[in-house]
Structure 1
């Protein structure tokens, strides 16, 4: 059984930077989950965060131990929910969670839609300029969910896998999207994975149209 720590955050203003809700606090007790996400959780830039396919963000807790090893002088920074995640668990990773997986969580049902695409804001908020590319290159990205059944839930209710709907793990999706050279067959495989988000399906489709991989620089470094 995987019992998640649960986090929500409100939009805050930051000097010399755009508003963000990356700073989260742990929720104790019950919370309502709707197709928009957890009650009380906000997103500042809804073009990239939130929405039906990105209602929840999950980041494995074991990745923080690895990051503390990479940055021993900054180890106090690398603890949940430093990456703005809503859920953090031990035992669920990109290798054993698959695109389209549907989990029961309390009264709710949630479905994995895509890996998280690390962005430059993580570099800024954790004061580590190469953090986002490191997460992308290592495959330690976490993943996102849509809510297919609303209701009450809490951190003392486990995430229970109900159905596996594709053969594409989150780790494979990360590899296809971020690590492999141009591969039409793999893009079509990813697009055909049941439950894949509309935005990732569009990205793969545009690669097929343009016959090239998009530039990651703006997302990873903000330029």
Structure 2
């Protein structure tokens, strides 16, 4: 959907995965994670939900961390790759297109606006690594630019008092 128009994966992470899984090291080259963008210098720690970047003539906005899924397990031949990616918070992130325009691989990404204090890393921690924490869900919900699906998930958690089961996303139909 529109909140997931582009996927960005930090190039630095490829070195991490190649060290973790030397037998599959030759697989860890862009765009092995299915990303549209791969750069150096931008990571989950220094990119924030709602950040707007100029890329060529286009404006794109960070909407959420990528939610790794079981397809990565098959792609890399690593049974728990999606879970490891999520646990390491090396997920990359997704963008919506705010203003369409001409782009190219040579055009740099330039931050033009920062709208929240919630990094992509923080969003991963809030969603996947913390026990139920209503205050942190409210913090994430207050991040301007958060995707509709993540907004719904955090609101549902607040209403139910429960964290949903992610095993189907991480493992497919097999038990995790």
- After TM superposition, is the score higher than 0.5? yes
Quick one: distance in 2 between partners of 1:80 and 1:107?
24
- Report how far residue 74 of structure 1 moved: 1.1
Quick one: distance in 2 between partners of 1:145 and 1:154?
16
Structure 1 residue 148 corresponds to structure 2 residue 136: no
Q: Deviations over 1:161-209 (max 9, x none)?
A: 0010000000000000000000001001101100000000000011011
Structure 1 residue 102 corresponds to structure 2 residue 52: yes
Correspondence 1:1-223 to 2 at 5 A = 51-223=1-173
TM norm structure 1: 0.77
2:102 aligned counterpart, secondary structure: strand
Paired residue for 1:40? none
TM norm structure 2: 0.97
State the 4+ residue runs in structure 1 displaced beyond 4 angstroms: none
1:89 aligned counterpart, secondary structure: coil
Q: Deviations over 1:75-100 (max 9, x none)?
A: 11111111100000000000000000
Quick one: distance in 2 between partners of 1:105 and 1:164?
15
Quick one: distance in 1 between partners of 2:153 and 2:129?
15
Quick one: distance in 1 between partners of 2:151 and 2:159?
12
Q: Report which of the two has the higher share of strand.
A: 1
Q: Report which of the two has the higher share of helix.
A: 2
Question: Which consecutive unaligned segments of at least 5 residues does structure 1 have?
Answer: 1-50
Aligned residues: 173
